[in-house]
Chains A and B, each alone.
Chain A
């Protein structure tokens, strides 16, 4: 069974204080790993897709990286508007035996950036 574990559950940063969020995953065959951002009362918003170990993606103050067992979301010099819950999800490939179109999400990391 695919599993995604995110840490920490909550993170409180001062504005400008860089940090990283962790996503550890177990999947029989990885098709892709995804990062989403979710604001309170809203649906998740897509951020990044990573397909293979060593891959990196960047968007503004966010950078996502991938190894064979985990992914990191690095936040550089965060601003209060970066406050949200960040969700990690994996998608198994068609050879895993599980449905290949479903995403398995972690519980998320709730990030608060204090001015």
Chain B
């Protein structure tokens, strides 16, 4: 068990470009979450998958954000037409029922939009 893996760890992009992040959860975990964290703030929920189904999505999530989890394994988070306000750490986490709040986080993907 190597833990939750995220790629890339760092991404610098120009405003208006699209970016995609990948998350590989712990293999036996069927729950996968995406959070966003900016400097000095706690993580903010973005979306949640149980197996391949996206069951929850933050009301604050822009239409420019989309997430997938094909076949219930790895997940991708895509941000289209990036804006400077999208600069943040994007954290992926996984868990296994019944421990709904005990999340195992990856080390995050840091996005800088110039």
Question: Do B40 and A32 touch across chains, with their CB atoms under 8 A apart?
Answer: no
Question: Do A43 and B4 touch across chains, with their CB atoms under 8 A apart?
Answer: yes
On chain B, which size bracket covers the interface?
A: 20 to 34
Question: Do A89 and B4 touch across chains, with their CB atoms under 8 A apart?
Answer: no
Question: Do A31 and B101 touch across chains, with their CB atoms under 8 A apart?
Answer: yes
Give the number of residues in A that approach B within 8 Å (Cβ atoms).
24
B31 at the interface (CB under 8 A from A): yes
- What's the least CB distance linking B103 to chain A, in Å? 6
A43-B93, A43-B108 are contacts. A104–B103 as well, Cβ < 8 Å? no
- What's the least CB distance linking B86 to chain A, in Å? 19
A43-B105, A46-B104 are contacts. A106–B42 as well, Cβ < 8 Å? yes
CA distance A31 to B58 in the complex (A): 19
A34 at the interface (CB under 8 A from B): yes
Name A's interface SS: strand
Number of CB contacts from chain A to chain B under 8 A: 64
Q: In the complex, which residues of chain A have a beta carbon less than 8 angstroms from the beta carbon of B40? A: 107
Question: Do B91 and A34 touch across chains, with their CB atoms under 8 A apart?
Answer: no
Chain A residues in contact with chain B, CB under 8 A?
4, 31-32, 34, 41-46, 49, 87, 89, 91, 99-108
Contact with A along B50-70 (1 / 0, CB 8 A): 100001101000000000000
Question: Do B101 and A32 touch across chains, with their CB atoms under 8 A apart?
Answer: yes
Contact of A99 among B48, B91, B99, B105 (CB under 8 A): B48
Q: In the complex, which residues of chain B have a beta carbon less than 8 angstroms from the beta carbon of A106? A: 42
Question: Do A43 and B45 touch across chains, with their CB atoms under 8 A apart?
Answer: no
CA distance A31 to B101 in the complex (A): 9
Q: Which residue of A lies closest to B41 (CB)?
A: A107
